[in-house]
């Protein structure tokens, strides 16, 4: 069975994870992502260097997203406006993105 990569871009992963943690304390994305990365490294040792590079990029972007509360729009090549953790529509958007990412991780297993 071929595993499909989630349709959401990797640049939104770290920002969504950071926003979810920053706004309502969720750590579900990193908690789901870490075992997936470890399993991938065990099953494909040749990918370890690439995975380490991706994790480093993820961590850097995560820290930036915690500070800025913005998402990168790769299609438009711009950052979004800053998300407001007290705005119900912003929180709903963050929860939706978090759900998409978690669904993608589950489907990729």
What does the pLDDT look like over 12-27, one tens digit per residue?
Answer: 777 888 899 999 999 9
* Phi and psi torsions of 73, nearest 5°: -100, 100
Distance CA 26, CA 94 (A): 11
Residue 11: predicted pLDDT: 62
Query: 3-state DSSP call for residue 88?
Result: helix
Say whether pLDDT at 56 is over 60: yes
Query: Which pLDDT score, from 0 to 100, does residue 108 have?
Result: 59
Select, from the ranges 29-38, 63-72, 73-82, 90-99, the one with the highest average predicted confidence (pLDDT).
Answer: 90-99
């Amino acid at each position: 069975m071929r595993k499909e990569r989630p349709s959401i871009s990797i640049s939104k992963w770290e920002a969504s994870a950071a926003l979810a943690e920053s706004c309502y304390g969720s750590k579900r994305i990193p908690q789901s992502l870490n075992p997936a990365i470890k399993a991938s490294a065990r099953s494909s040792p040749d990918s370890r260097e690439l995975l380490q590079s991706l994790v480093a990029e993820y961590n850097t972007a995560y820290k930036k997203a915690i500070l800025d509360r913005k998402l990168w729009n790769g299609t438009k090549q711009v950052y979004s406006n800053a998300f407001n953790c007290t705005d119900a529509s912003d929180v709903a958007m963050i929860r939706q993105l978090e759900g998409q990412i978690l669904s993608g991780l589950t489907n990729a297993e």
